[in-house]
Amino acid sequence: MLQPKKQKYRKSFRGRRKGRSHRGATVAFGEYGLKALGRGWLTGAQIEAARRAITRSIKRGGKVWIRVFPDKPVTARPSGQRMGGGKGEVEKFVFTVTPGRVLFEIAGVAEELVKEAFGKAATKLPFKTKIVSREG
């Protein structure tokens, strides 16, 4: 599971998921990218599931880049616990996705294979995505 080795603060605020992505919104490393059209939190498990779907469908050919990393801690209280008593313990780490963010990139693979791989990866993600190429 993806998570940071160390962090400055153990717990963080939930924050707001407004606006669009300007940083990380273009294909920078590969030939094709999977771009987010929705917004939400992407957990380490979801990123890993999508990565596995991509690498299995391209049969470990080409190169895959993961452009996101879950570094925001999310806390949760045990179920059935009464109000009060402070904030819960860190349960998982997430990455905050806003529309326009490129999540994964691929190079060295045929276009039909890219569509199949990103299609399988998109089913593992909690928002809509689209495939973009370096040209536009």
* pLDDT per residue as tens digits for the range 52-75: 999 999 997 899 999 999 999 999
Distance CA 111, CA 95 (A): 28
SS3 113: helix
- The CATH architecture to which 32-77+88-133 belongs is Alpha-Beta Complex (3.90)
**In this model, does residue 15 exceed pLDDT 90?**
yes
Q: Confidence band (pLDDT; 50, 70, 90) for 48?
A: very high
Contact indicator for 42, 123 with CB cutoff of 8 Å: no
Domains in the chain: boundaries: 32-77+88-133
The predicted model scores a pTM of 0.92
120: which 2 tokens? 């399988």
